[in-house]
Amino acid sequence: MVLMNKKAIMKLALMVFLLGFTANVVNARFDSTSFITQVLSNGDDVKSACCDTCLCTRSQPPTCRCVDVRESCHSACDKCVCAYSNPPQCQCYDTHNFCYKTCH
């Protein structure tokens, strides 16, 4: 009987730990406008995407990546990584064999 209670307590402790860990990892800054834009995109993402600093390798074909750091990634970015800062600092980690047009 005592062993059953210890197992139940251990399961409860593990569940509380996992819930606490998940709550700390999830980004609480949910921007509904960017979510709606991603879901309802009409294919214009590549046309409106831009990059001021694009680095490419000398290989054939080249591997290019936009290294701009901004408050949000460009519209066609699939792998956007943002720092937990205010304002957020985001960078796109997609690679292509081309560079997007310049923004400015």
pLDDT digits (tens, 9 = 90+) for 64-81: 999 999 998 877 889 999
| pLDDT tens-digit readout, 15-62 | 766 666 555 544 444 444 444 444 444 444 556 788 899 999 999 889
The residues spanned by each domain of the chain are: 53-103
Q: Cα separation of 9 and 48, whole Å?
A: 54
Task: Give the separation between CA 92 and CA 24, rounded to whole angstroms.
Answer: 23
CATH superfamily entry for domain 53-103: Cysteine Protease (Bromelain) Inhibitor, subunit H (2.10.69.10)
Q: Has this prediction a pTM greater than 0.75?
A: no
CA distances from residue 65 to 9, 41, 99 in whole angstroms, order as listed: 50, 22, 7
How far apart (Å, rounded) are the C-alpha atoms in residues 19 and 25? 10
